[in-house]
Structure 1
Amino acid sequence: MEATIIMLEFFKALLDPDLGFLRNALLLGLIGSIPLGAVGTFVVARRISYLAAAIAHSVLGGIGAALYAREVLGWSWLHPMLGALLAALTAAGVIAAVSLRSKQREDAIIGAIWVTGMAVGLLFISRTPGYIDPMAYLFGDILLVTRSDLWIATGVGALIIAILLLWHRQIVAVCFDAEFAAIRGVQADRIYLLLLLLTALTVVTLVSLVGIVLVIALLTLPPAIASLRARSLGQMLICSIVLTACFVLFGLGLSYSLDFPTGPTIILLAALVYLVANGSNRLCAK
């Protein structure tokens, strides 16, 4: 009953002309849930969540550089999310090159990219005139969501879905057995690189809402929950998208009504559902 009242208050607030930022946040979450649920399914199936986390954390370098360029160099056209996008794609390319070609230890290179991206971002932010709270980018801030974020997320989401529709069979093959896929003529290395690039694109879509640190949870938790009941990868993908949208919707409602930070509220809701679903699945198996 109390949850119903909370959500009714939230829906009423969405109609308030003075709360446009709330509508922007909800739209961004619903738009981003499609690529997050879709790509997250392949990330979980391929078991590369740690690579996705490194890409996500490197995003701060791009955001910091973009903010510095806007304020110091006068590049007003450089949106922070565009900087994030460039940083994520660069990190994905480097990780793919290391994973496929280099003889260096993969975990060490991934760790280096992870911390370097964050260090570069914090350095640029510290040298940017005015006060910039890095916590807003690390953990999300509903007030950061703008109309330009919606357009960027829509464009990126459409590109991701188009790529998945074109190469979904090859991506599925590489996710389950890359060696067998290569034997059958699939260019496994290129598809692996494509999957990392899609992950980079996906991470950027909801950075302003849930933050750099927490976006990886929203990329992996819904597919993990869906995998407990789904009988096929297609079912898992659809369930992941629906779950992501629900977590964003109810997480936003709770955070608004209870005056909690938005990003952590969404992630904690997803984590709670995962723990309950995982626990009930184990009980049913006994």
Structure 2
Amino acid sequence: MEELMLPFSLPFMRDAMLIAALIAVPAALLSCFLVLKGWSLMGDAISHAVLPGVVGAYIIGIPIGIGAFVAGMICALGTGYLQENSRVKQDTVMGVVFSGMFGLGVVMYTKITTDAHLDHILFGDILGIGPADLIETGVIAGVVALLILLKWRDLTLHAFDPAQARAAGLPVRLLHYGLLVLLSLTIVASLKAVGIILAIALMIAPGATAFLVTRRFGAMMAVAVAVAVAAAVTGVWLSFFLDSAPAPTIVLLMTAAFIAAFVAASVRARRTDA
């Protein structure tokens, strides 16, 4: 038992578990809306598109989070503009925009001399975070989670039926871009812990898992948060004994949870049909 509790006695492991849990809450809440709206690719696009912002922020000497947020919003707004002013479908526009911005970020990175490692930007460095990272992530996670919980009913109606939301007098455009802002902020909060590439998994898998096992949206959000937090803390803990990277371990646990939910839902459906 003492060996199993060893990770909790190490400060860097406790910090890693804490920041993973902090990120998991807003990411799980957002994942419910992304799954319902079919915005999985949008989350992927923004997570990749922040790279040039990260590199640019490093070059001019401003906080990396600011650069990442600005780049994420440029991607989101640019995608919306191109979709509204061309015949190209949304998924195609997003694919072009995020791949272009990601390529720009890689080119920018190769042209600067820095001690920063690209793999930390791409995959995170959850075991190397400091107090400042915890505070920054905690503040962003708290703000995003609070805004979602305050406006979840409006966001839910907008996700299910934008036309009905407009008829009900809701500010549909504000809700649309507000959700994109929250998405960009959550990706910024995730950068230090899980990096650009794995951040999208945190914002899809919990909502997809909860969607399979619940029938009400309120329950879906609660299950998504529970799955995300459990996978985040357990993934960091398990990585200590497996000698693996924490972020991919977290993602694997979320994938396993989704598979288990899928199997359970399939079995339940067969029993119902029988």
TM-score, normalised relative to structure 1: 0.87
8 Å contact kept, 1:96–1:193? no
State yes or no: 1:201 paired with 2:185.
yes
- In structure 1, distance between residues paired with 2:53 and 2:4: 33
CA distance in 1, matches of 2:150, 2:202: 25
Residues 10 and 146 (structure 1), Cα distance of their counterparts in 2 relative to 1, 3 Å cut: farther
Whether 1:279 and 2:248 are equivalent positions in the alignment is no
The offset of 1:225, in angstroms, is 0.9
Spell out, residue by residue over 1:137-168, the C-alpha distance to the aligned partner (whole angstroms, 9 max, x if none): 21222244232221221221222133224432
Q: 1:279 to 1:165 in 2, by over 3 A?
A: closer
Q: Which segment drifts farther, 122-131 or 270-279?
A: 122-131
Q: In structure 1, what is the Cα distance between the partners aligned to 2:255 and 2:149?
A: 29
Q: What CA distance in whole angstroms lies between the structure 2 residues aligned with 1:121 and 1:163?
A: 30
Q: How does 1:104-119 map to 2 (within 5 A)?
A: 104-105=87-88, 106-119=90-103
Corresponding letter in the other structure for 2:9: L
Structure 1 gap ranges (5+): 70-74
- Residues 81-124 of structure 1 show CA distances to partners (whole Å, capped at 9, x for unaligned) of 3322222222222223334x322413332122211221222223
Q: Which deviates more, 204-213 or 246-255?
A: 204-213
**Over aligned residues, Cα RMSD in angstroms?**
1.9
Q: 1:103 aligns with which of 70, 86, 101?
A: 86
**Is the 8 Å Cα contact of residues 29 and 225 (structure 2) preserved in structure 1?**
yes
1:23 corresponds in structure 2 to: 14
Q: What is the aligned length?
A: 269
In the alignment, is residue 84 of structure 1 matched against residue 78 of structure 2?
A: no
Following superposition, which runs of at least 4 residues in structure 1 exceed 4 angstroms of deviation? none
**146, 160, 178: which one pairs with 2:130?**
146
Following TM superposition, by how much is the alpha carbon of 1:10 offset from its aligned partner in structure 2, in angstroms?
5.7
Partners in 2 of 1:181 and 1:251 — Cα distance?
39
Question: Which letter maps to 2:48?
Answer: H
TM-score using structure 2 length: 0.90
Are residue 58 (structure 1) and residue 42 (structure 2) matched?
A: no
Percent sequence identity is 26
Aligned counterparts, 1:104-253, within 5 A: 104-105=87-88, 106-253=90-237
TM superposition shift of 1:208? 2.0
Corresponding letter in the other structure for 2:85: S
Find out whether 1:14 has 2:8 as its counterpart.
yes
Deviation of 1:51 after TM superposition, in Å, equals 0.8
Point out the more displaced range, 185-194 or 215-224. Answer: 185-194
* AA at the equivalent of 2:126: I
Equivalent residue number for residue 59 of structure 2: 68
Whether 1:48 aligns to 2:39 is: yes
Going from structure 1 to structure 2, the CA distance change for 1:104 and 1:23 (only over 3 Å counts) comes to farther
The residue aligned with 1:72 is none
CA–CA separation in structure 2 for the residues paired with 1:104 and 1:24: 48
1:282 Cα deviation after fit:
0.7
CA distance in 1, matches of 2:19, 2:87: 39
Q: Using the alignment, how far apart are the partners of 2:49 and 2:222 within structure 1?
A: 29
- Aligned-pair CA distance for 1:273: 1.7
Contact map agreement 2:16 2:126 (CA 8 A) in 1:
yes
Contact 2:7–2:237 (Cα < 8 Å) also in 1: no
Partners of 2:224 and 2:156 in 1: CA distance: 16
